[in-house]
Chain A
Amino acid sequence: MKMKKLACMLLALTMAVGLFTGCGSEKDSGDTGKQDSQNDSSQDAPKDNTGDTNTPEESQNSGDDTYPNGLSKTEPVVLKLGIADQGNGTAQFDAALKLFQSMYPNVEIETTISADIETIVDTKINAGDDDDMFDLFWSYSRNPELIAAGALEPCEDIWDYEFNDTPGTKIRDLAPAGLVDATYYPGWPDGKEHVAIFPAMGTNYYGFFYNKALFEEKGWNQDPQTWQEFLDLCAAIKKDDVVPLISTGVYSYYLTYSLVLPKSFELAHEAGDIDAFTESFQNYGNDFYNNTYLTETWNKIGELGKLGYWHTGLAGMNHTQAQMQVLQGKAAMVASGTWIGNEMADSIPEGFEWGYMMIPFRETKDTPIYIGPAFANAGLVIWANKPETNKAWCKEFLRLMCDMSVQEGAAEGGGIPYIRTDFADNAEGMGLLHESARVSLRYIADHECISLAEKYKSIPSGASLAQAQQNYSENYVGMMMNEVNPETVLTECQALLDKAREGN
């Protein structure tokens, strides 16, 4: 009997101790590599990353205690990496992690992969524990807030790093035209522009994707140059009993970056008002919502709805359902990104060929076509409040992601467009790229395009801003289908934003 009671007590005690042990902090769990590197944060700061011209083999065999990039070979470092598993998958990281750990065995990388990595990141940010925070992580929706708070590490110096596998050539030297400028972001505490998201993950673009084979079979115009030509195309498609346009109505950002944002800038450009419009946009100005170009953009989108060119069921469709409509030939064009070929790889029917276009809102061919880049708003960022050593290694990881072998792995495994122009000369590499990425890059090369990233210099705060954003996104479908007057919605949103601007 006594033994039985003793056993019960011991069991309860063991369970209690076990539970507490499970909640023990990382500091107690013997993660000495991380502790060491943080206690000695300044000791091994990078010396001159731009001068590293060594191959991986040379890096490993340089003889002394430091790699040619100036970082220690002997100091154990643990990097925490937060990866988003989205349309492109994680193939590029598989290639990069394998190569990185073979080159730098003293650096351990702890990887967290999640389709919703942003929520995990948010939780870590709110916890306020820099030790627990990721060193390098995928970030998107709150980048402006992070930049404004100085929470991210400026990364523009990586543009001047040399490729690991192409010594003597800086990364910026092989960057596609306009890419370097597109990555600079305003709104930093020092008032200057810096790079927060280094686009090592490739150059994805938003736009409209279609079945090229179907367009050729029907004789539809694959390259409308003006708004009127685009309307004519939609009329021709509708005449053939196919719905011309579709976009997910559940996730409004697809339409934002494929159409709303770049086209409002395109119209401002055409009117010769691009600078004033950009300034107001980036500062959440007093005509952020209620301005001529955004109103005109929505009027045009609504006109497409009025003419019956948008799919009537889009309000309840997620992006997969919307994309399926195009694969099945029921809709002609879908708003999506260059990753669509990878995302829908298992569902693509025989004979289907990807085509890509940006819808022109311009009236004449003289204005450049504005295009929405995914890479400028979303990608890997470095947490500023980490030891210098860790940040330097994060930058090394980003540099390594630019290696041709990693880029090829990314192209093959995830359909990710390259960030180095010599990839385009590499026929074998180009052959690995998914067709959806290839056609979008071809379109951009064949047209005078301007990449328009969503950038903010200052953001108001307060509940009224959240209400404005909620009201705006909720009315997307209504405005698309011409059921709601865009002017009314934009005026309401502006009134709420103005309250936020006034601090209410």
Chain B
Amino acid sequence: MRKGKKLEKRKLGFLLVTLVPAFVFYIIFTLYPNLMSAYYSLLEWNGIADPKFIGLKNFITLLTDDFVWRGLLHNLLIMIVTVPITILLALLLAFALTNTRFRENKFYQALFYMPNIMPILVVALLWSFIYDGDMGLLNGLLHLVTDNFSGKYWLADKSTALICIMIPMIWCNVGFHMIIYINAITAIPDSLYEVATLEGATMRQKMWHVTVPLIRETLITSATFLILNAFGNFEIVMLMTNGGPGGATNTLSLYMYHLAFGGKNEGITSHMYGYSSAVGIVLTILLIIIRFLMEKFSSREAVQY
């Protein structure tokens, strides 16, 4: 009995030593900034002059701000397009790499993962040049089959700019999620695939009826990360189009960044930390709602094997 209590105490001590630092860091670097942001959202403040408390005025302004609603729409479009495509591509690659016995599989894993570790500036420049109307790779490839797109500047066209931004977003993320899926797939017992093979299942059937259900939890976690990324990622948009042409690629997070740090690329502009924080709070609430909905509508049945 005494031995059991001693063990409990030791366990508690170990847990405290390991968890407290993480919790303290969470408070300092996550909770505190978010609470401060909530406070800033009630202010009119440029970061230099004395802040002025204005209550909910920033939130009221936000409701009638067309740039906010347009940014939100662009974020939703990015989410709707990039999340399923990224998951699908990552899953296909993961499935292919785990179901083949090529000697160079490790090399392919590293190759597909590489875009994820490339600096975002390099990615943005690379894709900007791919889309270049004059010397871009895309037009070069299209030229092999048609001359219809000769000299087309893909990022300069309002109808194509947003989709052109989404492609590098997918390209960057596929490798990372592929690695996660490979780890999940390799944990599935071979016996399940062997049974499927004996039952005469095709590769496609194995993927949809064995792999996908068994890595469902991983897929949901992965989707959550991708959704957060679709709303929070603004660097690539800023570097490739800066929200242009004519706001066609401006997202909520980029608008928030411009409000907070000024449109440095537009010249001398004002800094609105209060209003920017209000946009940030709305974005946070939105993401919490999305997360909640994902929890609610995804089945909680645990998979055991």
Contacts and interface: CB of A to CB of B under 8 A. Distances in A.
Given A140-B264, A377-B268, A466-B270, A330 B275 contact: no
A253 interface: yes
A141 B269 contact: yes
A462 B262 CA distance: 13
A314 B241 CA distance: 11
B10 A474 contact: no
Interface stretch (B104-112, B152-160, B217-225, B296-304): B152-160
Contact of B246 (A8, A320, A477): A477
Contacts of A253: 265-267
B18 A12 contact: yes
B61 interface: yes
Nearest to A251: B265
Question: Most A CB atoms within 10 A — which of B259, B262, B270?
Answer: B270
A478 interface: yes
Given A465-B270, A470-B67, A312 B17 contact: no
A249 interface: yes
B133 A313 contact: yes
Contacts of B128: 316, 318, 321
A19 interface: yes
A279 interface: no
A252 interface: yes
A477 B265 contact: no
Contact of A461 (B44, B153, B156, B262): B44
20 contacts: A119-B261, A141-B264, A141-B268, A143-B268, A145-B271, A251-B265, A253-B266, A256-B267, A312-B156, A315-B245, A316-B161, A317-B153, A463-B61, A463-B65, A463-B275, A466-B258, A466-B269, A469-B266, A469-B269, A470-B247
Interface string B207-250: 00000000000000000000000000000000011111111001
B84 interface: no
Nearest to A253: B267
B189 to A, nearest CB: 32
A142 B133 CA distance: 35
A484 B48 CA distance: 36
B244 A122 contact: no
B153 A315 contact: yes
A23 to B, nearest CB: 8
Interface residues of B, number: 59
B140 interface: no
Interface of B: 10, 13-14, 17-18, 20-21, 25, 44, 46-49, 58, 61-62, 65, 67, 125, 128-129, 131-134, 151, 153-157, 161, 240-247, 250, 255, 258-273, 275
A454 B14 contact: no
Nearest to B155: A316
A67 to B, nearest CB: 34
Contact of A252 (B13, B58, B240, B266): B266
Contacts of B258: 466, 470
Contact of B247 (A148, A463, A474): A474
A98 interface: no
B246 A478 contact: yes
Contact of B272 (A125, A317, A466, A477): A466
A461 B20 CA distance: 42
Given A463-B272, A465-B270, A317 B17 contact: no
A325 interface: yes
Contact of B21 (A19, A143, A149): A19
B134 A325 contact: yes
Interface string A457-486: 001011111110110111101100000100
Contact of B267 (A119, A148, A454, A484): A454
B270 A145 contact: yes
A270 B165 CA distance: 44
A15 interface: yes
A144 interface: yes
B268 A140 contact: yes
Contacts of A141: 262-264, 267-269
B244 A316 contact: yes
A138 to B, nearest CB: 12
Contact of A149 (B49, B260, B270): B49
A481 B263 CA distance: 22
Given A119-B261, A141-B262, A459-B270, A313 B14 contact: no
Contacts of B245: 249, 315-316, 477-478
A313 B268 contact: no
Contacts of B151: 313
Interface string A247-278: 00111110011000000000000000000000
Nearest to B46: A145
Nearest to B28: A23
Contacts of A15: 21
Contacts of B161: 316
Contacts of B25: 19
A16 B264 contact: no
A151 interface: yes
Given A122-B271, A377-B268, A462 B244 contact: no
Interface in A132-158: 140-146, 148-149, 151
Given A9-B17, A148-B49, A463-B65, 17 more contacts: A5-B14, A9-B14, A16-B21, A140-B264, A250-B241, A252-B267, A253-B265, A315-B157, A316-B131, A316-B156, A316-B244, A456-B268, A466-B270, A469-B263, A469-B269, A470-B247, A477-B246
Given A118-B264, A149-B48, A467-B67, A315 B273 contact: no
Contacts of B47: 122, 125-126
A59 B299 CA distance: 78
A368 B125 CA distance: 40
A13 interface: yes
